[in-house]
Structure formats: C-alpha cells, structure tokens
Structure 1
Amino acid sequence: MDKVLLQSLYRYCYCLTANTSQAEDLLQSAIERWLTSSATPEYIGAYIRKIIRNQFIDNCRRNNLVDFEPLEENAPALLGESCLEDIEIQHNLLEYLFEQLNAAEREVLYLWAIEGYSAAEIAIDLEQPRGTILSRLHRVKVKAAQLMVSAHAKQQIRG
C-alpha cells in the first residue's frame, strides 16, 4: 500500500469521524481487517473504504449515535496582508461548514470534491440510490451557500 492511498484513506476516515484520533483508530482497524482477510480485491482503495464505512456505521450503532439522515496551504509566496486575511477567512468558513455537516454529507462531499467521483460513482461505491447522493450534495451546497451569504453580510456590516 502506497503513501498516497494511505493518506487518501485517512482523509476519508477523518471526513466520517471529524476527529483525528477516531480517524486514526478507524483506519488502523480497517487495515487490520483487510490484512487478515483472504480477499484479493481488484480495487484495494474501494475495498478498504467499504471496510472503513461499515466499521464506522457499526461504531455509530454501538454508541447509539444517529449520524445518517486539513487542507494543504499552497499559497503563492508573495501575498499581501489582505490576501492572507481572505485566505484565513475562507479557511475558517470551510472549517465551520465542515462542522455543520453530518457524517453522510461529509462522506459524499469528500468523495465528490476530493476524490473527484461523480454522483453515479458515489452511489455505486456506497451502494445507495443516485437520488440520495444528489440530495446530499444539494444539501451540502445549500449549507455552503447559506454560510457564504451569512459571511458576506457580516463582512458588509464590519466594513
């Protein structure tokens, strides 16, 4: 297993749990399950993601949680103060949006925005109807739009 796949799987775990230590535990248990299984899947990443998702759902059920109904800074070196301020504001807005999403919405957002999957591919991967995936993506977009409108209004009041 290469580092790129491992990092991708960790990000997936983090999107589900929204907690670094829980994401690490989830990833470790999923890799342990994969290593002890006799399965030889064609797509290891998809197979391990399925293990991760099933383990996460089991953990939620075990803890009686109802959960379903970090960015790299590659900024240019020469940034002005206002540009740095805008980047910080955007980073804070993204963190706030992430907190507003439930695990199912974070999972779909991750697969769509980070992994680049289409709604149809996500539906196949998660074994859920495409309409459900489209609905979750729509809810994420609505929450993001509301957050942007709210942030813009606050900025207008300040400035």
Structure 2
Amino acid sequence: MKFIFKRNSRNNPENVKHKERFLLERFNEAIFLLQHKCAKWLENRTANLSAKSWIVILFCFVVFTVGGNVYLIVDGLNGNSNKIERSLISRPINAVAFDTKNTILNTSLSKTQMERMARFQMYMDSLGRSPTGKLIQDSILRSRPGLLDSLVIVENYYRSQFKN
C-alpha cells in the first residue's frame, strides 16, 4: 500500500525526457511552419515569371558565381593579396643560460616527502574506483597533465639515490 501514496518526483528522469521530447517536437513544428511560410511567400513572388526570365536569372547567377570564384582563385595565386603576417620565433634577451653538463641534482628527498608522494599516488588510484572520484581524477589530470609522470620520475630519482 505504501507504493500507492508515493509522490512523483519533479526530477524524475522519465518526466525530464518527456519534457525535452515535447519541447523538441514543438521546436520542430515551429521550424516546419516557418519553412512552409517562406516557401509560400517565394512561390507567390515567382508565380508570374516566364521561362525566359528564369533562364536569365539562372544565367546571371552562374555568371556572378563563376566570376567571383575565378577572382578569388586568381587573387590567391597572385602574390599581391593581403597575407597573414607571421613573426619569427626569437630567443628572449633575458634568458638564463642553462648548462646541462655541469648541472647536478644535489637535492635529496626526505622520507616524509616520499611518503607524501606515495599517499598522493594511492589517493589518485582510489579516485579511479568510483564514478564521482573518476570525475575528480579526470579534472586533476586535465589541469595538471604531467603530474603522474613527474611523480614517477621523482620516485625513480629517489630510488637511484639509494643505489649509489
């Protein structure tokens, strides 16, 4: 008996789909009516044109269309048209010189920093297990595209410290 007195939710997916379908049908009917009115108007305007006038209109349309296209092709092949200007890529004046040969990473990671990175990796892995977590994980990866790769690089560097 309890199911008889259940109130219908206004956000019921079936009701939403029904409303969307109803709006789309009304919109399609409005478009069809507008197309029908435009076709009737054009038909009334051209009802008294003779065959010769139709041929003249068609000939003028073809001449102007072909002429415009030929103009665009010739103008594009000719070097005198307005071009998109492009600037050359130049090296910035205040750039810091980076010597790759003498650069040695002297920084060492502490155990707490490594634990924090491991916890973050576990957190990212756990996000992928639920649908809402997957959305959060995707947004993090979209805003920071190389984050997981950087963590792997840092973890490998940390492990290489203990090998030496």
TM-score tier after normalising by the smaller chain length = under 0.3
Q: Which has the higher contact order (CA 8 A, sep 6+)?
A: 1
TM-score by length of 2: 0.18
TM-score by length of 1: 0.18
Higher helix proportion: 1
Compare CA radii of gyration and give the structure with the larger one.
2
